[in-house]
Amino acid sequence: MSEKEPTGTEAATPNKAGNSVPGLDFNGPWKYDAAPQSSDQIDLREQYDLFIEGHFQKPEKGRYLPSVNPATEETLSSVAEATQQDVDKAVAAARKAYNKTWSEMKAADRGKYIFRLARLIQERAREFAIIETMDGGKPIREARDVDIPLAAAQFFYYAGWADKLDYAFPGRKARPLGVAGQIIPWNFPLLMLAWKVAPALATGNTVVLKPAETTSLTALKFAELCQDAGLPEGVVNIVTGTGQTGSLIVNHNDIDKIAFTGSTEVGKIIMESLAGTDKKYTLELGGKGPNMIFDDAPVDQAVEGIINAIFFNQGHVCCAGSRLLVQEGIADRVLQKLRDRMETLIVGDPLDKNTDIGAINSEQQYNKISEYLELGVEEGAEMYQSSCTLPEKGYFCRPTLFSNVSQSNRIVREEIFGPVLTIQTFRTPEEGIEKANNTPYGLAGGVWTDKGSKIFKVGSKIRSGVVWANTYNHFDPTSPFGGYKESGQGREGGLHGLYPYVELVPG
Amino acid sequence: MPDRVNVLKTYKTYIDGAFPRTESGRHYKVYDREGNILANACQCSRKDVRRAVVAARGSFPGWSDRTAYNRGQILYRIAEMLETRKGQFTEELERTGYKAKRAVAEVESSIDRLIYYAGWSDKYQQVFGSINPVASSHFNFSLPEPTGVVTIWAPEEQPLLGLVSVIAPVITGGNSCVVLASETYPLSAISFAEVLNSSDVPAGVVNILTGSRTELLDPMTSHMDVNAFFYTNPDIEVQQQKQIDENGALNVKRIIRKPMEDWQDKEAKSPYFITDFQEIKTTWHPVGF
């Protein structure tokens, strides 16, 4: 079939090179009006303290970090920087709560508190979504429809487990571990909090949580919910700060378990720090997800899937489908459709409901992505970016596609964590699988084909913790998530997500 | 003058389904509990470890691809082979200083342990997998898959039962492994390799080395193509434990430590020994017309 065959709905328009090719008419009548989500109702304090033992407390050293809206570069608020004494206090509070209340409480009651948290998030969902968008730069559509509902659902799911743990582990009884130290990233701030806090509480542990320094606000808002829910003091403690605060948590002697989501680089440092101790740990680390498109795939759906796989949340997704692997016969057609589709993506104000790609989370991340874009060109890859205009202020990056890459290119091997896709081709399924697995990572991968048997064969060969067949980037509280190889250890979500927070003893 | 001069056995290593000597050409003496010399054992080197890991990695795709039923049958076959050589293993344990009754008990428990795990081969997926009721129109399920290549320190005591107890759950789950035998009592391990070799276990799935733990700790735990390290020493020094963990951090290796005093204990076998070397994979599949 000719790759230039018009599909009927597309008009033949001249492209930039002036050749007449079928494509979408980007200069046509379809313009989007601004559809801003109002942030008038949002009530942010100028300064947030640490949430320890049920109260907001000033940091001992009195230091605060600005929290910047990456779409406007304006400071939204400032958050405390926790140092050793603050972390000590938080851990002591968590220990006390563990000993005195939380582990003594009836499991069903523990569950009821967690149900309350789920409900409170639902009630204030829009507020949380707006703050998430302002603080982190993600499109309001995603914060509103994905992050916040999933966070509420996570609490709702694990709440129900609290008094049913005897059914979860065949032949064993579960005991809580004690105090869990949890360190979460900036890409899905409230959702990652929910992934960590909900299972820890349901299994009877107490927590000291550190949100990322660029996106602490929804965690601090969540602290308010803990107060509203009447959660016993010290069960949840939130200490804000940089990686330095994180390492204080990792190295604290009175913490029994570390749960970390972030880069593989930092994950390895944490493993080293924990060497020789009996602390348990789970790590959810980086990825370089292969997204495999077979020549019998429904191409239009696959193109949507590719877009969602890499441009969801500006590509700040550890399981992003950042390596596109297309079967050779349809490669040109997929590439053309992909470019056309990229051209229609709206990059801009995260609070606009039509926005597809929001702001890069921070200046630091923006610089990192920019370095990779330069590197890709230096490595000899062919770069394509959509022609959209970017806002003058804020950190924005055009959706980017690199073709003509090889397996050894750094842009193919390293996690960029931005809206940057590389494309490789393969001829046989075996070659595709070989390429898919040629990485130290193993978090997630996609398979696109109309043939059911192929899905299961390829899916079973991809060495990664999640396989999306004819879809990508779906999440659910009941669905375990986590990596093979250097993408981490342990699972979050589902029944398997209970294991990291319990010790199993003979039943 | 004896009627016949006995033929003594040379104890070598077991790599990729063959019985080579260590590439280093070194050996160490193996004694019984009275201090009498029993045999020479290979003192394996870093290079032997590397060779064994290559063999293990090579066998992994084929072994993990076998059906669960087939792996169960092969585990059962190992038990059958061990049963037919009960006398040999009992005698070998006695030569190291075991009392006859205890030696028989250890061999019999080893056989039974293999049967135990043979029976798990097609059940742990059902017990530890799940179908997840996601709130969207997808069919979503989670299944355990083998972690990959596992390096193992076999227990120092109970040289046969300990060895079988650490190998069986790892290979039942579809992994391949490189095992360092008990340093003090390595002979049963090499004899067990003969059992494996006649039990339809594909070459490379189990590789058995002998030598010094201290020397081989580093290559066994720092190798970048090893996915997990398994040890059971109840009395490991903190410094060694730390080094194991630090080496594990190099490639996010799963470090599994199950301190076990007595492998006859009823807690010395369970499906959780299998799941420690499994990764949960979750697959999403759309549902619709």
Say if residue A380 is exposed, middle or buried (CB neighbours under 10 Å; 0-12, 13-18, 19+): exposed
On the 0-12 / 13-18 / 19+ scale of CB atoms within 10 A, A20 is: exposed
Q: What is the CATH number of the domain that holds A81?
A: 3.40.605.10
Kindly state whether residue A9 falls inside one of the protein's structural domains: no
Q: Do A349 and A272 fall into the same domain?
A: no
CB nearest A469 (choices: B243, B250, B284): B284
A25 within domain boundaries: no
Tell me the two tokens of residue A66: 């600005």
Contacts 24+ apart (CB under 8 A), B93-97: B93/B159, B93/B160, B93/B188, B95/B32, B95/B38, B95/B187, B96/B32, B96/B33, B96/B38, B96/B159, B96/B185, B96/B187, B96/B188, B97/B32, B97/B33, B97/B34
Give CA A156 to chain center in angstroms: 20
pLDDT tens sequence across A331-352: 999 999 999 999 999 999 999 9
**Interface mutation target, options B279, B287, B289, chain A, most CBs of A under 10 Å:** B279
Contact A479, B284 (CB under 8 A): yes
Do A227 and A143 share a structural domain? yes
**Cα A214 from Cα A69, distance rounded (Å):** 9
Contact state of B241 with A460 under an 8 Å Cβ cutoff: no
| CATH code of A356's domain | 3.40.309.10
Of A213, A284, A486, A492, catalytic: A284
Domain of residue A188 covers 47-285+484-506
Q: CB of A438 within 8 Å of any CB in chain B?
A: no
Tell me the pLDDT tens digit for each residue of B82-136: 999 999 999 999 999 999 999 999 999 999 999 999 999 999 999 999 999 999 9
Same domain, yes or no, for A203 and A239?
yes
Active site residue A284: yes
Angle formed by the axes of helices A217-228 and A125-136, to 10°?
160
Q: Over 60: is that where the pLDDT of A135 sits?
A: yes
Interface confidence, given as ipTM, is 0.95
Look at A467 and B282 and tell me if their CB atoms are within 8 Å. Answer: yes
Cβ–Cβ gap B251/A485 under 8 Å: yes
Same domain, A85 and A230: yes
Question: What span, in angstroms and rounded, lies between the C-alpha atoms of A360 and A382?
Answer: 23
Name the pTM for this structure: 0.95
Q: What is the per-residue pLDDT for B235?
A: 87
DSSP helix/strand/coil, B13: coil
What string of DSSP letters covers A322-351? -EEEEEGGGHHHHHHHHHHHHHT--BS-TT
Number of independent structural domains in chain A:
2
Q: Are residues A272 and A293 in the same domain?
A: no
User: A1 pLDDT exceeds 90?
Assistant: no
Joined together, the tokens standing for residue A492 give 């979050």
For residue B242, how far is the Cα from the chain centroid?
Answer: 23
Class of residue A65 by CB neighbours under 10 A (exposed 0-12, middle 13-18, buried 19+): middle
The two three-digit tokens of residue A274, written as one number:
């924990």
What is the reported pLDDT for A15? 46
pLDDT at A4: 44
Give me the mean pLDDT over the A239-266 stretch.
Answer: 98
Domain ranges of chain B: 27-286
Contact residues, chain B, for A153 at CB < 8 Å? 135
The answer to whether A226 is a known catalytic residue is no
* DSSP assignment string, A292-315: EE-TTS-HHHHHHHHHHHHHGGGG
Tell me the pLDDT tens digit for each residue of B7-38: 988 999 999 999 999 999 999 999 988 899 99
Q: Which entry of A53, A81, A318, A388 is annotated as an active-site residue?
A: A318
List the structure tokens of A220.
């601090």
Can you give A463-507 as a three-state secondary structure string?
CCCEEEECCCCCCCCCCCECCCHHHEECCECCHHHHHHHEEEEEC
CATH architecture of B27-286: 3-Layer(aba) Sandwich (3.40)
Q: Is residue A63 part of a domain?
A: yes
Same domain, A422 and A386: yes
- In single-letter form, the type of residue at position B136 comes to S
Residues A347 and A391 in one domain: yes
Distance CA B222, CA B46 (A): 11
Q: Classify residue A458: in a domain, yes or no.
A: yes
- In tens, the pLDDT along A148-194 reads 999 999 999 999 999 999 999 999 999 999 999 999 999 999 999 99
Whether A291 and A273 share a structural domain = no
Yes or no: say if B166 and B154 are a contact pair by the CB < 8 Å rule: yes
Asked whether residue A166 falls in the same domain as residue A299, the answer is no
